[in-house]
Amino acid sequence: MDVDGSSGTDDAASARPGSEADAVDRDVASLRQAIARVDSLPQERRRFLTSYAYVLVRIARVDAELSDAELARIEESVLSAGDLAEADGTLIVSLASKMSQLFGATEDYAFTRDFTRSSSPQQRQRLLRSCVMVGTADGAMAAAEIAELHEIGLELGFAAEEVDAIREQMDPAAGHR
């Protein structure tokens, strides 16, 4: 018994029906396992994947929203780039999304610069292609998304013409504007 006379159990948890409490316990255990797996990644790989996810969240949030379609594309891209388990990729994307909400534009350049320093030209091109995939998740890219894509492309070391060429390859509607 605790000092205050309670049994020390979580009253909210004990009030839940068994199957709901079991489901919550499984979710918590799964989250803890994902955190442990992500923590066990080498620091450079964690930084690489977090920066990759952050840049993708950056293009998705340019319109101040992160749609389900954009989120799905971001998770797909991070899973593919990182060769991760789904829960691990989802955790990294969630963390990047929270960081973007907290830091916003003040950290955009820093994350992109960090990615540029730690990546190969092929990885940077893959990220830029993923940005186009995220930008077109809701349909054609909006003007603000195109402007942000150009900014990201320049920060990654691409010329404006290279960014346009990649966008036209990835977005069939790009050539019709």
CATH class of 42-176: mainly alpha
Those residues with Cβ within 8 angstroms of residue 21's Cβ, 6 or more apart along the chain or in another chain: 13, 14
pLDDT attached to residue 17: 57
Would you give per-residue pLDDT tens digits along the chain (177 residues)?
444 444 444 444 445 556 777 777 776 776 677 678 777 888 888 889 989 999 999 999 998 888 999 999 999 999 999 888 888 888 889 888 888 888 877 788 899 999 999 999 999 999 999 999 999 998 889 899 999 999 999 999 999 999 999 999 987 777 654
What one-character-per-residue DSSP string does 97-164 give? HHHHHHHTHHHHHHHHHHHHHTS-HHHHHHHHHHHHHHHTTTSSPPHHHHHHHHHHHHHTT--HHHHH
Residues 135, 166: contact at Cβ < 8 Å?
A: no
Task: Report pLDDT for 3.
Answer: 40
What pLDDT, on a 0 to 100 scale, did the predictor assign at position 1?
43
Domain boundaries, the chain: 10-40, 42-176
